[in-house]
């Protein structure tokens, strides 16, 4: 009986929702924010609506993470000595930068990066509320980057240590933006989606950024995250991985 009820729900609610979203995409051409708005407006976010939360998806995503995590960790190990030397020569201070991030199911995880800023020059990204705040933050942030730090940030090489977190299972390769709880409260607000996304691990590669081609916040971020979660598949992850390289080359990571 439970199996029949589940199939009924999928037939009369979940599948029609996904079908309407896909039909909208076919009419409008490319995936963009309007498609996500359609889905958000007509359906209250519940985990059953989003394939990314299915147990089968979690298994395939974990296999994906392990495969690419091993490759990334290998590159991290191979490049460690030259990057570490450059960071140390660029400015005095520790080699790595540590910061707390919101993990799966309200766990707190530690994000590890190569240090790209001068020591003692941290900027509180959590205080960003508006676009004007973000412009001011970016200006102060850029001034504090060292020569090597600018290259590491623009190329994404400062993120290499996070492949260890992916292998540990604290993070995933592609998915929801990794940020502090305070910053996510500002960017997403106290919404159903804000709570629902806690069921997944934060990601090294921000799917919303790759879909849009630039950094997004607020409602636009929520809509793009829901769109990615609703259309999740292993093949789509591969496509986003290739598109991510174009975003890095464009310099639109921040």
pLDDT in tens, the chain (254 residues): 334 433 444 443 445 555 656 665 566 555 555 555 555 555 566 677 788 888 888 999 999 999 999 999 999 999 999 999 999 988 888 999 898 999 998 899 999 999 888 765 555 554 444 555 555 555 555 667 778 888 888 888 999 999 999 999 999 999 999 988 888 888 887 667 888 889 999 999 999 988 888 888 877 888 888 888 888 888 888 888 888 877 776 665 55
Do the Cβ atoms of 184 and 102 come closer than 8 Å?
yes
| Sign of the alpha-carbon dihedral angle for 187, 189, 193, 196 | positive
3-state secondary structure of 158: helix
Beta bridge partners of 145: 117
Q: Where are the alpha helices (DSSP H) in 144-233?
A: 147-155, 162-168, 181-188, 192-196, 207-212, 218-230
| Sign of the alpha-carbon dihedral angle for 129, 222, 108, 214 | negative
Give the model's pLDDT for residue 26.
62
Q: What is the pTM of this model?
A: 0.74
Burial class from Cβ neighbours inside 10 Å (0-12, 13-18, 19+) for residue 98 reads exposed
Give the model's pLDDT for residue 104.
92
Burial class from Cβ neighbours inside 10 Å (0-12, 13-18, 19+) for residue 58 reads middle
What's the DSSP call for residue 46? -
Region of residue 28 (left: phi > 0; alpha: psi -120 to 50; beta: else): alpha
If you count them, how many residues does the chain have? 254
Region of residue 207 (left: phi > 0; alpha: psi -120 to 50; beta: else): alpha
What's the DSSP call for residue 169? T
Distance in angstroms (rounded) separating the CA atoms of residues 109 and 176:
14
Do the Cβ atoms of 225 and 211 come closer than 8 Å?
no
Do the Cβ atoms of 33 and 214 come closer than 8 Å?
no
Distance in angstroms (rounded) separating the CA atoms of residues 47 and 53:
6
């Amino acid at each position: 009986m439970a199996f029949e009820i589940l199939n009924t729900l999928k037939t009369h609610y979940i599948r029609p929702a996904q079908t309407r979203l896909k039909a909208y995409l076919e009419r409008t051409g490319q995936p963009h924010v309007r498609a996500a708005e359609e889905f958000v407006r007509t359906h209250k976010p519940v985990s059953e609506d989003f394939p990314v939360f299915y147990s089968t998806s979690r298994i395939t995503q974990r296999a994906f993470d392990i495969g690419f995590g091993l490759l990334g960790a290998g590159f991290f190990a191979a490049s460690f000595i030259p990057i570490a030397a450059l960071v140390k020569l660029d400015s005095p201070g520790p080699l790595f930068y540590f910061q707390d991030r919101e993990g799966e199911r309200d766990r707190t995880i530690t994000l590890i990066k190569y240090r790209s800023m001068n020591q003692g020059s941290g900027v509180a990204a959590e205080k960003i509320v508006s676009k004007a705040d973000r412009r001011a933050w970016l200006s102060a942030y850029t001034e504090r980057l060292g020569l090597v730090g600018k290259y590491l940030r623009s190329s994404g090489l400062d993120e290499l240590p996070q492949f260890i977190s992916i292998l540990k299972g604290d993070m995933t390769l592609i998915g929801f933006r990794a940020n502090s709880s305070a910053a996510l409260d500002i960017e997403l607000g106290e919404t159903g989606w804000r709570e629902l996304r806690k069921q997944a691990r934060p990601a090294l590669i921000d799917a919303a950024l790759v879909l849009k081609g630039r950094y997004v916040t607020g409602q636009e971020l929520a809509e793009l995250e829901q769109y990615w979660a609703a259309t999740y598949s292993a093949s789509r992850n591969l496509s986003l991985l290739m598109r991510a390289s174009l975003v890095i080359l464009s310099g639109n990571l921040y």
